Structure 1
Amino acid sequence: MSQVLVVDHPMVQDRLTAIRRVSTDSGAFRQHMSAVAAMLFYEAARILPVSKETIETPLQPMQAPVLKTGLVLVSVLRAGLGFLDGILPSLPTARVGYLGLARNPKTLAAESYYANLPKIIPEDQVFVLDPMLATGHTVIQALKQVEAAGARHIHLVTLLASPEGVANVQKEFPAVRIVTASIDTALNHKGYIVPGLGDAGDRLYGTLGH
């Protein structure tokens, strides 16, 4: 589990509790999701490499740290948009990609319906954003597409994970770091995380899950 970070910061956990509540409406859900995404990303970004650059302050020159590599955010539609909204304002120069993956309700396999990724070079740090790591099928497909596009340094930022999902991702992609707010108990017979929070996309946007 060395590649898995569970962020147990009290502010993260408080927001997660609000997100889990069935009484939380879509507007509040979006606000909490955006806030917790930013906090999770800060933890995920702790490992970013930096280099030193000579700058001038109002008083004197100094050697100051700057990010060494390019940043790419990849949002897995739909729910990943809720994470992207919270992270992108602090990273205005990041390149952004989108992957549309839908879970087949019968087989639980992930089916791709859309892909639009920016140019990725091996030195880039790529963060895949998907709030729910349930069976792992959707995330694994996303990671395969990102890797095929040239990514070598890949991180997964997710709100909730199941033990099964973590195990499946680690089996396929042992080098990928997983940053999450919680590893919940299990999956139910429909492949939903329990206790979980329901369907993140439907709760974000007030849809009915048809």
Structure 2
Amino acid sequence: MSTVPSSAQIVVLDHPLVQHKLTRLRQAQTSTAGFRRLTRELSLLMCYEATRDLALEPVRIETPLEAMEGCLLSGKKLCFVSILRAGNGILDGMLDLVPSARVGHIGLFRDHDTLEAIEYYKKLPDDVAERDCILVDPMLATGHSAAAAIARVKDAGVRNIIFVCLIAAPEGIRHLSETHPDVKIVTCAVDRGLDDNGYIRPGIGDAGDRLFGTK
């Protein structure tokens, strides 16, 4: 069994609501509509953690009763980058929470023989280098797709990146921490490991198929 390296920057959300919804999500009998809804709800909860360290600045406001000093976000703004296609299931919930964020998309598919990530699409905001980026994908399996997507975002000039996924395998965490040690991983669970086909066990099945009802 592969183990998670001690040097990995990883946050596992053990909140009861997260674990409850994740268990419902894993169940084979969960419908496409239910899977989509649960993914959106979990993405909201993961977004809270992924944005925990955003900078704030004081601001004077007027409530209906009196003046006070509140706080608003300051500094660089956010960009969510979805790794297609399954990343869009997480993206929707994140945008519910931060509707002003810019959005990028990176399309990658995994070569079934080499398990390497091959790019077929990339579209990022023009000012992405001036933003903090949160990359989203439901699963971190081998880590090749995530590492490739992060490399492309770094090539665009981004320096502050967080990777968010529903579940991760130790092998993927290891690969990502070795290729991009500066990137923090936020996930709901670290599963046992990968099978011979590169699927996470016990996992959630193929997230894209379950989100979009294509299988």
- Please give the range of the TM-score, normalised by the shorter of the 2 chains: over 0.9
Alignment partner of 1:58 out of 42, 64, 70? 64
Contact 1:122–1:153 (8 Å) recurs in 2:
no
The answer for the alignment partner of 2:55 in structure 1 is 49
Contact 2:18–2:42 (8 Å) recurs in 1:
yes
1:1-210 matches, within 5 Å, as 1=7, 3-68=9-74, 69-208=76-215
**Match of 1:108, SS?**
coil
State the Cα RMSD in Å: 1.3
Percent of aligned pairs sharing the same letter: 45
CA distance in 1, matches of 2:32, 2:41: 14
- Taking structure 2 as the reference length, what is the TM-score of the superposition? 0.93
Equivalent pairs, count: 208
Q: How far off its partner does 1:167 sit?
A: 0.8
Q: How far off its partner does 1:116 sit?
A: 0.6
- Gap runs ≥5 in structure 2: 1-6
Please list the CA deviations of residues 11-31 of structure 1 after superposition, one character each: whole Å capped at 9, or x if unmatched.
Answer: 111111111111111111000
- Gap runs ≥5 in structure 1: none
Q: How far off its partner does 1:59 sit?
A: 3.0
Amino acid at match of 2:42: V
Flag the structure with more relative contact order, 1 or 2, with Cα contacts below 8 A and sequence separation at least 6: 2
**Match of 2:113, SS?**
coil
Contact 2:25–2:39 (8 Å) recurs in 1:
yes
Please list the CA deviations of residues 177-200 of structure 1 after superposition, one character each: whole Å capped at 9, or x if unmatched.
Answer: 100000000100110100101110
- Taking structure 1 as the reference length, what is the TM-score of the superposition? 0.95
**Match of 1:151, SS?**
coil
> Structure 1 residues 190, 2: CA separation in 2 closer, same or farther (over 3 Å shift)?
closer
CA distance in 2, matches of 1:122, 1:102: 25
